[in-house]
Amino acid sequence: MDKKQLTETDIRTKFITPALVGTSSAKWNVMTQVREEVFFTKGRVIVRGKTVRRGEAKKADYILYFKPGVPIAVIEAKDNNHSVGAGMQQALEYAEILDVPFAYSCNGDAFLEHDRTSSSTAVEREIALDQFPTPEELWSRYINSKGYNPAQAAVAAQDYYDDGSGKAPRYYQLNAINRTIDAIARGENRLLLVMATGTGKTYTAFQIIWRLWKSGAKKRILFLVDRNILADQTKTNDFKPFGQAMTKITNRTVDKAFEIYLALYQAVSGTDDEQNIYKQFSPDFFDLVIVDECHRGSAADDANWRKVLEYFSSATQIGLTATPKETEDVSNIEYFGDPLYTYSLKQGIDDGFLAPYKVVRIGIDKDLDGWRPEKGKTDKHGQLIEDREYNETDFDRNLILEKRTELVAHKVTQFLKATDRFAKTIVFCENIDHAERMRQALVNGNADLAAANNRYVMRITGDNDEGKAQLDNFIDPESTFPVIATTSQLMSTGIDAQTCRLIVLDKRIASMAEFKQIIGRGTRINEDYGKLYFTIMDFKRATALFADPKFDGDPVQVYEPKLDDSPVPPDDHSATDSPLICYSNGVEPGTPLEAREPTPRYIVDDVEVTVATERVQYLDADGKLITESLKDYTRKAVRKAYTSLDAFLNAWNEADRKQAIVDELATQGVFIDELTEQVNRDLDAFDLICHVAFDQKPLTRRERADKVRKRNVFGKYGDKTRAVLEALLDKYADAGLKSVESLGILKVDPLSTFGTPIEIVKLFGGKPKYLAAIQELEEQIYSEAA
């Protein structure tokens, strides 16, 4: 056997896997400890106009596990034409992402090992194939580097919960869980995990609790949330396996017979001592307290959550948040310490686990320019309006411009009518009164659907039982209604709206934490329902926070339409960059206080309001905000891959399959189909690229096909084979390159009249000769460069 002739797959099958298993299968268990070709990301969702594709996912050749859920090594394989260490840099990149201590490269001759736990000079060493370490050896080296005693090692090796369904934590969840278990095993008691909305914080918390509970390291656990719906979702979904060991504290009553407690912080604390029912537990009753969404109150020195945490100060405490709060007066980090692990919105979008988004920015004239009433102006109720300039800080608070509300509702309706009228939509308003007026305006704007089902538009706010009763239906992907929800703050956090496709911002947002939480309502992906990205429609310039250094996930597109333009972002549009008062209202514990303000002083119904600006921007495949058109973006992307026209022509002519070049460019965000719609539908990929990227005069597909016929290149073929090639040339002229290179085209008329695909291939003397004829046909098509 000549190793040099073997593919990378052969090297893995014939040399690497046998070396892992051992001669008597005594080393690594292939079924439970070895995974090959592991895709650990999904591939970024790339949006260009109406085209949505996934970029390339990250894939490790091997991931080795000490036990399920405890990865310990990665191996990158290369064929034997490479050196032993040729894959090491890739292996180290993946080892860092996956948080594993050992990285290996192998070409079938030997392994090169990199020990990331070692601080000595022998970080890398070459080892023979039959000397690859056993799982026990690697685990022993790892726990020795950590300085674990036997009890700590047992906690670190505790099994994950497995329900047999195949559901397993994603790589970043494993990182967060394993780092937390490691920190607690080493005696740390204040921990902070920062994970973007939609990345599974509650599931991560469940696995942390499960492993600590099952190992006996923690016996009584308190999980604190700030909303009833969060507690109920947690109990019935992620925490369900705890079964009879779990209870939810309700009606301010305490039963000390359980081990896992779910509680709203409002239900266990209050301003009076008799309301602080957490004091019915002894201070050392819980040995683990986890605070979900810890940015929402526990960070403040005098907050109720902080009092609960200080009472149970002997317990290990973990804060979970998507948005750590750091202000002059409030700090998560001061209390919990620096984040033990962070998985940001940008990382989630880059990995393809979170949905990217477009932004439609709509500037309303009165918001941008302000409004001053003429002398003696009265509102619709006859009140004299105070003579001063009113601006966006006044609107929908102490001054209501009814036509402004109608305009916002009109733009939302216009967008839905142009895209999907049943796309789940959340409209964030200044306060409850504003949310109700917006509901009415949207009902009037969608009278046909609202008449067919009165739940088409619902106000879902803390003071409205009918609306809150529809919250589960809104977040249920299988439930059509409600379609549009108007809200103030109730839906800004903790709502798992997987199919939300449109978020409307008609409220001022000064807090980065609140902004990220609201954006997080749309970042979940649900491929079963075609939800891969969403749109933000911003009327209050809230998305100016994108420019804040603390924001970590840019939009794929920002669009500012003019007065009469559609609010739907176009496929190609050049552009340039560019304290809420809360009242109680008797809302039940566990429901956040909505921003209901006193009745506005003035309600004006006769002041015209118009759209002043709208704008669009794209993100490239790396998540960088760009402001040029799709053509400009394509030009830069192609020239980055091919430094000159000659370089592109050489690559094109040398490619066995031209479509492979098109597919590779698509992973960089260059979508030929979308570009064709904008430039010329009669051009194929070759001419589009040469024209857009290198300013060459293009030929249409029909012109290229005609030039081939004039050269009489089919003269050497027999009648039947010549007829097949001429039919393929017609297909190229009609549909482009992909149809010529696909064997499937042989099943389509008129080619199917020549026989089955196998029979047609036989006319050429077999598949190799058929493919050679296709390659010659392509050479003739592209013999004249653009």
The per-residue pLDDT for range 299-349, each reduced to its tens digit, is 444 456 678 888 899 999 999 988 765 544 445 567 788 889 999 888 998
Q: Are 356 and 349 in contact (CB under 8 A)?
A: yes
The residue whose two tokens read 């053509």 is 631
- The answer to whether the Cα torsion of 640, 641, 642, 643 is positive or negative is positive
What percent helix, strand, coil does the chain show, rounded to 5? Answer: 40, 20, 40
Q: Is the pLDDT of residue 394 over 90?
A: no
DSSP 657-678: -HHHHHHHHHHTT--HHHHHHH
Q: Is the pLDDT of residue 420 over 50?
A: yes
DSSP 334-385: HHH-S-SEEE-HHHHHHHTSB--EEEEEEEEHHHHH-B-PPTT-B-TTSPBP
- Which pair of structure tokens corresponds to residue 510? 């000064």
Q: What share of the chain in percent tops pLDDT 70?
A: 85
Reported as a pLDDT band with limits 50, 70 and 90, residue 747 is confident
Over residues 628-650, the mean pLDDT reads 82
CA-to-CA separations, 715 to 709, 720, 750, in angstroms, rounded: 10, 12, 21
Residues 236 and 177: their CA atoms lie apart, in Å, by 21
Q: Is 423 exposed, middle or buried (0-12, 13-18, 19+ CB in 10 A)?
A: middle
pLDDT computed for residue 39 by the predictor: 95
Lowest mean pLDDT segment, chosen from 146-155, 213-222, 573-582, 756-765: 573-582
Choice between 376 and 492, residue whose per-residue pLDDT is larger: 376
The single-letter code of the amino acid at 425 is T
Q: Is the pLDDT of residue 580 over 80?
A: no
505 DSSP β-pair partners: 428, 538
- The answer to whether the Cα torsion of 201, 204, 209, 210 is positive or negative is positive
Segment 161-170 long-range contacts (CB within 8 Å, at least 24 positions apart): 161/206, 161/207, 161/210, 161/211, 161/241, 162/68, 163/241, 168/68, 168/69, 169/69, 169/200, 169/203, 169/204, 169/207, 170/40, 170/199, 170/200, 170/353
Q: Are 63 and 87 in contact (CB under 8 A)?
A: no
Tell me the three-class secondary structure of 152-200, residue by residue: HHHHHCCCCCCCCCCCCCCHHHHHHHHHHHHHHHCCCCEEEEEECCCCC
Residues 148 and 186: their CA atoms lie apart, in Å, by 8
Over residues 763-770, the mean pLDDT reads 88
Residue 177 has, within 13 A of its CA and on its CB side, a CA count of 30
662-686 tens-digit pLDDT: 888 877 777 777 778 778 888 888 8
DSSP-assigned letter for residue 503: E
Residues 724 and 10: their CA atoms lie apart, in Å, by 37
- The answer to whether the Cα torsion of 431, 433, 438, 439 is positive or negative is positive
Over residues 201-221, the mean pLDDT reads 94
702-732 tens-digit pLDDT: 988 888 888 877 778 888 888 988 888 888 8
CA-to-CA separations, 767 to 270, 284, 394, 760, in angstroms, rounded: 79, 76, 74, 9
The single-letter code of the amino acid at 536 is I
Reported as a pLDDT band with limits 50, 70 and 90, residue 423 is very high
Residues 113 and 97: their CA atoms lie apart, in Å, by 17
Residues 188 and 602: their CA atoms lie apart, in Å, by 56
Q: Is the pLDDT of residue 597 over 70?
A: no
Over residues 465-481, the mean pLDDT reads 88
pLDDT computed for residue 328 by the predictor: 46
Reported as a pLDDT band with limits 50, 70 and 90, residue 352 is very high
* CA proximity to 201, closest of 315, 7, 343: 343
* CA proximity to 610, closest of 781, 419, 403: 403
* CA proximity to 156, closest of 192, 180, 190: 180
Residues 246 and 219: their CA atoms lie apart, in Å, by 12
pLDDT computed for residue 659 by the predictor: 81
680-704 tens-digit pLDDT: 888 888 888 888 888 888 888 898 8
Reported as a pLDDT band with limits 50, 70 and 90, residue 459 is very high
Lowest mean pLDDT segment, chosen from 71-80, 489-498, 733-742, 755-764: 489-498
pLDDT computed for residue 588 by the predictor: 35
* N residues, the chain: 786
Residues 294 and 371: their CA atoms lie apart, in Å, by 40
Reported as a pLDDT band with limits 50, 70 and 90, residue 37 is very high
Query: Cis (ω within 30 of 0) for the bond into 283?
Result: no
Choice between 134 and 562, residue whose per-residue pLDDT is larger: 134
Q: CB under 8 Å to 257, separation ≥6 — which residues?
A: none
Collapse the DSSP code of 140 into the 3-class scheme (helix H, G, I; strand E, B; otherwise coil) and give the result: helix
Q: CB under 8 Å to 411, separation ≥6 — which residues?
A: 362, 537, 539, 567, 611
Q: Are 72 and 102 in contact (CB under 8 A)?
A: yes
pLDDT computed for residue 427 by the predictor: 95
Triad 145, 147, 149: Cα angle to 5°: 135
pLDDT computed for residue 576 by the predictor: 28
Lowest mean pLDDT segment, chosen from 55-69, 139-153, 624-638, 732-746: 624-638
Over residues 523-543, the mean pLDDT reads 87
Q: Is the pLDDT of residue 593 over 70?
A: no
Choice between 435 and 594, residue whose per-residue pLDDT is larger: 435
Q: CB under 8 Å to 49, separation ≥6 — which residues?
A: 570, 571, 572, 630, 671, 674, 677
Q: What is the CA radius of gyration of the chain?
A: 31
Q: CB under 8 Å to 295, separation ≥6 — which residues?
A: 321, 322, 323, 324, 325, 332, 513
- The answer to whether the Cα torsion of 779, 781, 783, 786 is positive or negative is negative
Q: Are 611 and 363 in contact (CB under 8 A)?
A: yes
Q: Is the pLDDT of residue 214 over 60?
A: yes
Triad 627, 504, 574: Cα angle to 5°: 15
